Amino acid sequence: MTPGEPIHAELIAVVVAVTDAQPRVLTLLDGSALPAGPLESGHRSLQAGLRHWVERHTGHRLGHIEQLYTFADPDRSRAGRSISICYLALANETRTPLGGRVSWQDWYRFFPWEDRRVAHTIIETIVKPGLSHWSAGNPERLTRAARLFGLDGEDWQEDRALARYELLYEAGLVREATRDGRPAHGEFVPGATLAADHRRILATAISRLRARIGYRPVVFELMAEQFTLLDLQRCIEALTGQTLHKANFRRLIESQTLLEDSGNFSSGSGRPAKLYRFRAEVLAERAEAGTRLPLARP
């Protein structure tokens, strides 16, 4: 940073919900940016500032939030040094219109290759050839590509979403790369872009949330007060982009004493199913509570 260079600080919120088995993220500008606003001196804390800004501009109240990351790369902005303090918030999607240009978007709209629940050919037909061209026979690059994208027999690791996006950016296979002056090395990988480096920030949130599911039952923040085991499974599948083995999932969840029978049943068409809720002890000690969630395919 050069002397006298202006420094701009802002707060960015990645607000996540799961609705109808789809992970959703709150956006502004007709789906092209994450909620972001300037850090103001009147805010008593960063979290208070974030809550105030998001509520004022989106009409949506935030529940649980946690700091995600601080982005301060020197080349993030052409208008001086830009520092973004980012937070991850878990919420329930509002059913009423938010007004203006605020909307909820499916996060796989921005990262379609991350949804392994559906059959698609993006990785084989676009990602793999593009990375192969970029690698130009370089063994280190080829190995990195294989490990991140599950190529050549390598396992897919769902919590490496950020690393996968950054590799595509480095290889010039996403539009943001050429927008920032990098050369392209093949056809752009499908996926909507976001303003500035907001897609990178969203990828960071996806990786964080997917990693945390493995050791902490954070999904209860996204569930209704009472839910079926299938509702819980579909929520986890939506976030991880993986299909879970139904019987294994139920055995593991029931063995960990995270839930209790509410005594109620689901209503509507079809056979009624038991409704569960998270035990009070889990809610009270959520920062310490842990769980292992199976990510095996059927």
Kindly list the distances between the CA atom of residue 65 and the CA atoms of 48, 50, 87, in Å, as whole numbers in the listed order: 10, 9, 7
Query: What span, in angstroms and rounded, lies between the C-alpha atoms of 266 and 274?
Result: 6
DSSP string, 236-257: HHHHHT----HHHHHHHHHHTT
- The mean pLDDT of the chain is 85
- Say if 33 falls within a structural domain: yes
159-181 mean pLDDT = 94
Q: Is 278 helix (H, G, I), strand (E, B) or coil?
A: strand
287: pLDDT strictly greater than 70: no
| Tens of pLDDT, residues 219-261 | 888 999 999 999 999 999 999 999 999 999 988 888 888 899 9
Question: Would you state the pLDDT for residue 297?
Answer: 45
Q: Quick one: 248 and 180 in the same domain?
A: no
Work out the pLDDT band at 298, boundaries 50, 70, 90.
very low
Q: For position 22, which CATH number holds? A: 3.90.79.10
| Tens of pLDDT, residues 109-163 | 999 999 999 988 999 999 999 999 999 989 999 999 999 999 999 999 999 999 9
Question: Would you state the pLDDT for residue 1?
Answer: 46
Q: For position 229, which CATH number holds? A: 1.10.10.10
176: pLDDT strictly greater than 60: yes
Residue 289 or 33, more confident: 33
Q: Quick one: 53 and 98 in the same domain?
A: yes
Question: Would you state the pLDDT for residue 8?
Answer: 76
108: pLDDT strictly greater than 80: yes
Work out the pLDDT band at 289, boundaries 50, 70, 90.
very low
Work out the pLDDT band at 79, boundaries 50, 70, 90.
low
Question: Would you state the pLDDT for residue 296?
Answer: 42
94: pLDDT strictly greater than 90: no
Question: Would you state the pLDDT for residue 82?
Answer: 78
- Say if 294 falls within a structural domain: no
% of the chain beyond a pLDDT of 90: 50
- Say if 17 falls within a structural domain: yes
Q: Quick one: 15 and 88 in the same domain?
A: yes
Other residues' Cβ atoms within 10 Å of the Cβ of residue 239: 22
Work out the pLDDT band at 43, boundaries 50, 70, 90.
low
Residue burial 205-228, b: 16+ Cβ < 10 Å; e: rest: bbbbbbebbeebbbbbbbbeebbb
199-213 mean pLDDT = 95
Of 126-130, 136-140, 195-199, 286-290, which gets the smallest average pLDDT? 286-290
Domain edge (last residue) among 87, 109, 131: 109
Contact 28, 102 (CB under 8 A): yes
Number of domains in the chain: 3
29-46 mean pLDDT = 80
165-186 mean pLDDT = 90
Domain of 75 in residue numbering reads as 7-109
- Say if 53 falls within a structural domain: yes
82-110 mean pLDDT = 83
Q: Report the relative pairing of strands 103-106 and 22-27 from DSSP bridges.
A: antiparallel
Residue 75 or 270, more confident: 270
The closest of 244, 193, 208 to 21, measured between CA atoms, is 244
